[in-house]
Amino acid sequence: MYWLDVWGFRGVVECGRPMRMDNELITALDVQSLWGLRADGRVFTGRDYPVGYEDWPSKCRDVLEWIPDAETETKHGGLLMTSLIHQATMPLGDGLHDYAYIQRARIHALILLRGLILPDTTGCKVPFMWLNAFDDPEEVANINWGSAALAYLYHYLCEASVGRQRRDVGGPMVLLQLWAWERMPTLRPAFLISLMYTPYTPCGAK
């Protein structure tokens, strides 16, 4: 939790379990106040090669302390969400070095990115190139996750609006729902905590 907080994911975690989606409530939003995601800083981009390593399995071993299955994951260019979730629920031993907690926090961050912040229409695979963003634990805090989420959302909304036949829309739709609830109070459920302003608490957590 310490590292997830440092990296800027605390707001998403504080919002709790996934909520039921209301797909009709879709427009624009403010990711920093709604979800607590950083809206300035370094752009989140991906290099499609393992920076500093010979191959992706080697990078996974060091960065995540886990090597993906060569047949089902490495060959298809991404980590399966089911494998990540399994790793995230494995118990940690006693007396571990701080780096072990950083490795576990990286796994949780990747799950948050693909599951909530940057979901696609399948939600089943995390691109290997995202691992490059987590090389330096101190630098992760400077990444502009908010703009990445908005870019992803607008990309999928654009695709859905140009008349293409799409059954599913990707992107962080939870943000759209939070935006609608924040600006149209008659549509939102009751607040679970006090409406009093609390510094650094995202609206979504309420």
Q: Give the type of residue at 20.
A: R
Query: Per-residue confidence at 130, pLDDT binned at 50, 70, 90?
Result: very high
Query: Per-residue confidence at 107, pLDDT binned at 50, 70, 90?
Result: very high
What value, to the nearest 5°, has the Cα angle with vertex 17 and ends 13 and 18?
A: 105
Q: Which two tokens stand for residue 164?
A: 């293409």
Q: Give the type of residue at 42.
A: R
pLDDT at 27 over 50: no
pLDDT of residue 186: 82
SS3 76: helix
Q: Which of 65-74, 138-147, 167-176 is predicted most confidently?
A: 138-147
pLDDT of residue 180: 79
SS3 14: helix
| For residues 151-163, average pLDDT | 77
pLDDT at 98 over 70: yes
Q: Which two tokens stand for residue 29?
A: 């939003």
38 Cβ contact list (under 8 Å, min separation 6): 8, 32, 141, 142, 143, 144, 145, 146
Rg (CA), the chain: 18
pLDDT of residue 199: 65
161 vs 64 pLDDT, higher one:
64
Q: To the nearest whole number, what is the mean pLDDT of the chain?
A: 79
Q: Which two tokens stand for residue 171?
A: 């992107």
Query: Per-residue confidence at 183, pLDDT binned at 50, 70, 90?
Result: confident
C-alpha 195 chain-centroid distance? 26
Query: Per-residue confidence at 28, pLDDT binned at 50, 70, 90?
Result: very low
| For residues 110-128, average pLDDT | 85
List Cα–Cα distances, 95 to 86, 98, 99, 100, 101, in angstroms: 22, 9, 12, 10, 11
Domain coordinates in residue numbering, the chain: 2-205
| pLDDT, tens only, 71-95 | 556 555 688 888 888 888 888 877 7
